[in-house]
Amino acid sequence: MKIQERASSPRIRGKWPPPGDKSLSHRALIFAALAGGKTELFRLNPGADVESTAAALRALGVKIARRGERWLVASEGAGALRAPAHPIDCGNSGTTMRLLAGVLAACPFESVLLGDESLLRRPMSRIVLPLRRMGARIEGQKGAAGEITAPLAIRGARLRGAAIDTGVASAQVKSAILLAAWTAGVPVEVREPLRSRDHTERMMRALGAPLRVRGCRIHLEAGAGIAPPAGTVPGDPSAAAFFAAAAAAQPGSRLVLEDVLLNPTRLGFYRLLARMGARVTQRRRRMWCGENAGDLIIEGAQLNAFRIAAANVPALVDEIPVLAVVAAGACRGRSQIRGAAELRVKESDRVSALTNGLRALGAAVEEFPDGLAIEGGKLHGGRIDAQRDHRIAMAFRIAGLFASGPVVITGAAKAALISHPGFERDLSALLSTRRRTSRRSP
């Protein structure tokens, strides 16, 4: 992929409804399957990760059909899930593997979860060990430093209630435990060191589960059924972050993100943009499964450097790649990101990928075990290896808007298909809107 944009051209103006939220889409499909009955869902995220969850549920006997933006789910409930005929391929989706591991740990059959080369390297001890404390029988492979990795062989067992400290602020870990407890019909208390995304808790409560949240403690009681989710999934603020960053960094830009998820645990990136100097406002429109949805309006400005500490990371971990790009190409001063060692075990080692990529474009970057520091300045052209990581590929596509020369991105084939298949089309449309407006101006 070769990108050529003039440094003066990235002004973005327009309205845009982001694709459906990926985190909510995974959970909506899973809870529809567990609750049973027939349900209609609209605007699920169109990326390959959500398709992986849908395919996995089909392998377990759930009927899922897609007609455009309309998804139909028919299931007889958690008790009717059946043993898969073959190992379940989770593709590149860590969410699919980790959440379904919780469900399958409580199902009375054997199953195997595997994935692509990237997913097979990602850490699974964080879910395997707490699930084992509940009585789950899960075996994996031995990875680096004794880490458990996939494929995961799961032999369904009778689980028991427990109080579990997760040791890491991870919505996927917390969700795996809650799903295991609900499927098994046992109580559980989950304690996190920091508050992570709370989509699972919100959705469970909205659907009728007896769940209480007090700070970083979540308690689920045993024995209650849930209703299936239905309706239209709000837009994904993480997918929108790439375009929001480009708009925020260019004075004169104004981007309206329509019908987007407004969950506070997902808006750390937008709060940070406001602290950096951009104008960010929101308009609430509706509720869906315990979540607020509405419009986010981003107006561009000259941005200042920022600092991210460990306590900030859970609310903006997915947006750090594009924040690093903006720090290098559009901010005044030295920005610093710390407490983000989690980035090293994503689809790629994102700390390393960002460091190498930004240096290739002329940025001054200092790398730490848990983050990096970036001097604001100007970017020139260069060659970037996205390492088949969708967020790295899309972040450096935004870097092309600020660079003075062409940016060539390798290792990006089909990367955007993971979460935003229409990424290039949508970005081009927003840039074209600005250019058409400019040509009409006197």
Global pTM?
0.91
Cα dist from 392 to 180, 186, 319, whole Å: 32, 40, 10
Share of the chain above pLDDT 90, in %: 88
CATH number at residue 407: 3.65.10.10
Please indicate, yes or no, whether residues 110 and 127 belong to a single structural domain of this protein: yes
- pLDDT tens, position by position, 326-381: 999 999 999 999 999 999 989 899 999 999 999 999 999 999 999 999 999 999 99
Q: Which residues are CB-neighbours of 113 under 8 A, at least 6 positions away?
A: 87, 88, 90, 97, 100, 101, 104, 150, 151, 152, 154
Please indicate, yes or no, whether residues 14 and 102 belong to a single structural domain of this protein: no
Q: What pLDDT sits at residue 1?
A: 59
Residue 2 reports pLDDT greater than 60:
no
- pLDDT tens, position by position, 38-86: 999 999 999 999 999 999 999 999 999 999 999 999 999 999 999 999 9
**Last residue within a domain, chosen from 227, 258, 279:** 227
Please indicate, yes or no, whether residues 252 and 132 belong to a single structural domain of this protein: no
Contact between 41 and 32 under an 8 Å Cβ cutoff? The reply is yes
Please indicate, yes or no, whether residues 38 and 8 belong to a single structural domain of this protein: no
* Residue numbers annotated as active site: 318
Peptide bond into 151 cis (omega under 30): yes
Please indicate, yes or no, whether residues 81 and 11 belong to a single structural domain of this protein: no
**Last residue within a domain, chosen from 162, 193, 227:** 227
Please indicate, yes or no, whether residues 285 and 201 belong to a single structural domain of this protein: no
Distance CA 299, CA 249 (A): 9
**Last residue within a domain, chosen from 169, 195, 227:** 227
pLDDT mean across residues, the chain: 93
The structural domain count of the chain equals 2
Please indicate, yes or no, whether residues 14 and 145 belong to a single structural domain of this protein: no
Domain that holds residue 164: 22-227
Contact between 22 and 65 under an 8 Å Cβ cutoff? The reply is no
Please indicate, yes or no, whether residues 217 and 336 belong to a single structural domain of this protein: no
Please indicate, yes or no, whether residues 13 and 38 belong to a single structural domain of this protein: no
Backbone angles phi, psi at 4, to 5 degrees: -130, 110
